[in-house]
Structure formats: C-alpha cells, structure tokens
C-alpha cells in the first residue's frame, strides 16, 4: 500500500441539514426565553479583572465572562419600561416595573445608600446591529438616567401613542407615526469634585440604516413580552448556583 497521503474532495456532498439557517441560529442560543443585557463597563469587576476595556459596552455571559462590543454600539430601540432592580440578595433578585408600587419606591429609596446594590430608571428593548439580537439596556444609575430621555425620540411612535399624548395635553401637531430609528450609544468619561472618574452613556443619531433585523413577527412578540405587566409589577428571580440570573 502506498504511504502517500490521499486528499479527499468532499465538496460535492449533499446538504447537511434539515431546516432553515435561522431555525438553527435560534436553537443554538444560550437559554431560550430570557433577555440578555448590554452593559456599559467602567469601574466594575470586568474592567478590574482585565476582561474588557473601561468605557466599552459589553455583553455579560456565564461564569463571569463578557463579550467586548467596543466603545460604541448601534442599536434599534423598540420599547421602554420603568425598572427598579435589587441585587442585594443574589439568591432572590427583585425587579419591579410599576413606578407607583411600594416595591419600586423602596428600591429607588435604597439606591441612594452606598453599596446598596439597588438601581432604578428606564429599561430599553433594543436590537444590536452586529449580532442582530434582542437585548435590554438599563439606564439605572444617577449618571445614566438623564441620558435616557435622549433615546425616546428613536423609539417607534404609533398613532395610539400620539393619541395618548394628545389626551394628556401634549402638543402633537408635528408628530406622525414612525418605526424605530437607528441610534448610536457611545461613552464619555466624567469626573466628580472628588476627582473620581467613571464612564456615562451618550446617545446620538446614527445615520446608517439597519439593513438586517429580526422578522417583524419576532419583533412584535418581543415587544409584547417586554412591556407585559408582571403580577403586582414585581418579579423575583432565583440565581442558579454557579450561574448568572437569567432575567427580563
């Protein structure tokens, strides 16, 4: 027998799959019914451990891993909701979505305490350009909350929204229904009177349209799920041992 290496040409094999590429992409997602969050990293553990650069947007994963998305990201904002988050007990994380509820007000009040691990603010449902996936971005601390209002104009505006605003006394003369508009989120380094430095989000117009987005039916379903009222406006999530809590 010859010892020559035989090179096989397998380029003409039949298709290796049953089902669409989109179906396989969905099935391969880590977890099936939870919304991952994009995080602005500054003085947190990911930066201190050298896993991501300060001032970059990151996508936390399992086992304290994080994917570096860079100093700016393009997103398509789809919906917003109030949110208060209590991480003081990692075995029973509390999220409140009704800003008038006692739970929300309690978390908001405790967020003023140092190292309380409580936050409140506005949570956005977005599609991120490079991954073409749905994520949450939470403007939940004192530095990020003021910037949240600059995201509002990029959200979709329906006729029902316009009618609601008119009923509340707002001037809607120049408003017309429109879909979500591309937005770029950058970061800015700021310093307080004590000389402490940290990064804050900056929302600006994105001139590059999104040429690829999830199917309309998927967008509608995700928006409905995101804005659906939780029982009592409060959601409690137990964090599995050794893993991150998977929460909307």
Per-residue pLDDT of 111-165, as tens digits, reads 999 889 999 999 999 999 999 999 999 999 998 999 999 999 999 999 999 999 9
Q: What are phi and psi of 164, to 5 degrees?
A: -65, -40
Answer whether residue 199 is part of any domain.
yes
Answer yes or no: is 41 within a domain.
yes
Instruction: Tell me, yes or no, whether 158 lies in a domain.
Output: yes
Q: Which of 32-36, 101-105, 194-198, 200-204 has the lowest mean pLDDT?
A: 32-36
Mean pLDDT of 156-183: 94
Q: For residue 161, is it within any domain?
A: yes
- Whether the CA torsion 70, 73, 78, 80 is positive or negative: it is positive
Q: Cα(167)–Cα(156) distance, rounded to whole angstroms?
A: 19
CA 28 – CA 243 distance, rounded (Å) = 18
Q: Measure the CA–CA gap between 95 and 2, rounded to whole angstroms.
A: 69
Give the DSSP letter of residue 157: B
Each residue's pLDDT tens digit, 227-246: 986 655 677 766 544 444 44
The answer to whether residue 22 is domain-embedded is no
Residue 219 is assigned to a structural domain of this protein: yes
List the domain range (segments joined by +) for residue 80: 34-85+121-237
CB atoms within 10 A of CB 57: 24
**Position 96 in a domain:** no
Please give the C-alpha separations between residue 70 and each of 73, 110, 137, 204, in angstroms, as whole numbers: 7, 32, 15, 16
- Residue 139 domain-assigned? yes
- 11-16, Cβ contacts within 8 angstroms, sequence gap of 24 or more: none
Q: How many CB atoms lie within 10 A of CB 216?
A: 8
- Looking at the DSSP bridge assignments, the partners of residue 82 are 122
pTM more than 0.85: no
How confident is the model at residue 26, as a pLDDT? Answer: 52
Number of domains into which the chain is organized? 1
């Amino acid at each position: 027998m010859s010892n020559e290496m035989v090179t096989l040409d397998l380029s003409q094999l039949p298709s290796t799959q049953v089902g669409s590429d989109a179906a396989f992409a969905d099935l391969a997602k880590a977890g099936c019914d939870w919304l991952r969050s994009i995080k602005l990293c500054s003085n947190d553990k990911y930066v201190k451990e050298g896993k991501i650069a300060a001032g970059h947007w990151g996508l936390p994963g399992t086992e304290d891993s994080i994917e570096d998305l860079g100093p700016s990201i393009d997103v398509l904002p789809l919906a917003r909701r109030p949110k208060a988050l209590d991480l003081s007990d990692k075995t029973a994380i509390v999220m409140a979505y009704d800003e008038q509820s006692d739970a929300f007000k309690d978390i908001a009040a405790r967020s003023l305490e140092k190292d309380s691990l409580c936050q409140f603010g506005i949570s956005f449902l977005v599609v991120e350009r490079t991954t073409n996936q749905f994520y949450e971005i939470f403007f939940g601390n004192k530095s990020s909350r003021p910037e949240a209002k600059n995201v509002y104009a990029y959200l979709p505006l329906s006729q029902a929204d316009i009618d609601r605003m008119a009923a509340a006394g707002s001037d809607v003369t120049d408003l017309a229904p429109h879909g979500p508009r591309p937005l770029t989120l950058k970061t800015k380094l700021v310093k307080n009177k004590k000389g402490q430095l940290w990064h804050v989000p900056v929302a600006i117009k994105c001139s590059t349209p999104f040429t690829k987005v999830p199917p309309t039916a998927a967008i509608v379903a995700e928006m409905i799920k995101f804005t659906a009222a939780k029982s009592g406006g409060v959601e409690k999530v137990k964090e599995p041992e050794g893993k991150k809590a998977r929460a909307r």
